[in-house]
Amino acid sequence: MKVVVVNKAGFCFGVKRAIEQAFEIAKTEENVYTLGPLIHNPQVIEALRGVGVKVAGDIEDLAANGARTVMIRTHGVTREEMARLAEGNYKIIDLTCPFVKKAQHYAKLLSEEGYQVIILGDIEHPEVKGLRSYAGENAAIVKTSEELSEIKPKTGIVVQTTQPVDSLKRLVAGIIEHTKELKVYNTICSSTALRQKETQEVARAVDVMLVVGGKNSANTTQLAKLCESLSVPTYHVETAGEIRPEWLGGVRKMGLTAGASTPDWIIKDVEKALKDMGGSKK
Amino acid sequence: MKVVVVNKAGFCFGVKRAIEQAFEIAKTEENVYTLGPLIHNPQVIEALRGVGVKVAGDIEDLAANGARTVMIRTHGVTREEMARLAEGNYKIIDLTCPFVKKAQHYAKLLSEEGYQVIILGDIEHPEVKGLRSYAGENAAIVKTSEELSEIKPKTGIVVQTTQPVDSLKRLVAGIIEHTKELKVYNTICSSTALRQKETQEVARAVDVMLVVGGKNSANTTQLAKLCESLSVPTYHVETAGEIRPEWLGGVRKMGLTAGASTPDWIIKDVEKALKDMGGSKK
* Residue A118, φ and ψ in degrees, nearest 5: -115, 130
Instruction: Note whether A184 contacts B186, CB cutoff 8 Å.
Output: no
CATH number of this structure's domain B2-10+191-281, picked from the four choices 1.10.238.10, 3.40.1010.20, 1.10.12.10, 3.20.80.10: 3.40.1010.20
For chain A, what is the mean pLDDT? 95
Provide the CATH topology of domain B99-188: Cobalt-precorrin-4 Transmethylase; domain 1 (3.40.1010)
Task: Please state the rounded mean pLDDT for residues A241-265.
Answer: 94
Please check whether residue B203 touches A, CB under 8 A.
no
A154 touches chain B (CB under 8 A): no
Query: Is the four-CA dihedral B172, A124, A227, A239 of positive or negative sign?
Result: positive
Binning pLDDT at 50, 70 and 90, where does residue A281 land?
confident
Q: pLDDT for A111-154, tens place per residue?
A: 999 999 999 999 999 999 999 999 988 899 999 999 999 999 99
Q: Is B24 a catalytic residue?
A: no
A109 contact B CB<8A: no
Domain ranges of chain A: 2-10+191-281, 13-97, 99-188
The reply to whether A151 touches chain B by the CB within 8 Å rule is no
Contact flag B173-A170 (C-beta cutoff 8 Å): yes
Residue from B127, B146, B150, B201 carrying the catalytic annotation: B127
**Contacts with A177 from chain B: Cβ below 8 Å:** 165, 168-169, 186, 188, 193
In whole angstroms, what is the distance from residue A101 CA to residue A189 CA? 12
| pLDDT tens string A19-34 | 999 999 999 998 999 9
The C-alpha atoms of residue B32 and residue A68 are separated, in whole angstroms, by: 82
For the residues A240-244, what does the mean pLDDT come to?
Answer: 96
**Four-residue CA torsion sign, A55, A58, A59, A64:** negative
Q: Do the Cβ atoms of B176 and A172 come within 8 Å?
A: yes
Q: pLDDT of chain B along its 282 residues, tens only?
A: 999 999 999 999 999 999 999 999 999 998 999 999 999 999 999 999 999 999 999 999 999 999 999 999 999 999 999 999 999 989 999 999 999 999 999 999 999 999 999 999 999 999 999 999 999 888 999 999 999 999 999 999 999 999 999 999 999 999 999 999 999 999 999 999 999 999 999 999 999 999 999 999 989 999 999 999 999 999 999 999 999 999 998 999 999 999 999 999 999 999 999 999 887 776
Per-residue pLDDT at B222: 93
> Is the CB of A185 less than 8 angstroms away from the CB of B180?
yes
Question: Of 3.90.1150.10, 3.40.50.2300, 3.40.50.11270, 3.40.47.10, which CATH number belongs to A13-97?
Answer: 3.40.50.11270
Give how far A118 is from chain B: nearest CA, Å.
14
Question: Residue B158: which H helix or E strand, with range?
Answer: strand B154-159
Q: Reply yes or no on whether the pLDDT at A89 is more than 90.
A: no
Looking at residues A242-271, what average pLDDT do you find? 94
Closest-CA distance, A182 to chain B, in angstroms, reads 5
ipTM of the complex: 0.87
At A52 the pLDDT is 95
What mean pLDDT comes out for the span A53-82? 94
For residue B195, what pLDDT is reported?
94
Residue A228 reports pLDDT greater than 80: yes
Residue of B nearest to A164 (CA): B177
Does the beta-carbon distance from A176 to B172 stay under 8 Å?
yes
- Say if residue A233 is exposed, middle or buried (CB neighbours under 10 Å; 0-12, 13-18, 19+): middle
**How far apart are the two ends of chain B, measured CA to CA in Å?**
9
Tell me how far apart the alpha carbons of residues B106 and B185 are, in angstroms, rounded to a whole number.
7
Instruction: Tell me the count of A-B CB pairs closer than 8 A.
Output: 61
| Cα gap A49→A33, rounded to integer Å | 10
Rounded distance, CA B270 to CA A256, Å? 67
Contact yes or no for A186 and B181 at CB 8 A: yes
Question: What pLDDT shows up at residue B180?
Answer: 97
* Residues found in chain B: 282
Which pLDDT score, from 0 to 100, does residue A137 have? 85
How far off is chain A from B178, nearest CA to CA, in Å?
9
B32 HSE (CA, 13 A, CB side): 23
**CB-based contact (8 Å) between B268 and chain A?**
no
The full length of chain A comes to 282
Q: Do domains B2-10+191-281 and B13-97 have the same CATH topology?
A: no
Position B280 scores a pLDDT of 79
Q: Please tell me the predicted confidence (pLDDT) of residue B255.
A: 97
pLDDT at site A33? 96
All residues of chain A having their beta carbon less than 8 Å from the beta carbon of residue B183 are: 181-184
Residue to mutate among A177, A183, A190, with most B CBs inside 10 A, is: A177
Q: Which of A165, A179, A183 sits opposite B177 (nearest CB)?
A: A165
Confidence of residue A278 (pLDDT cuts 50, 70, 90): confident
Check CB contact of A193 with chain B, cutoff 8 Å: yes
Residues 6+ apart with CB under 8 A from A187: A99, A102, A103, A106, A158, A159, A160, A161
Q: Give the number of other CB atoms < 10 A from CB of residue A34.
A: 25
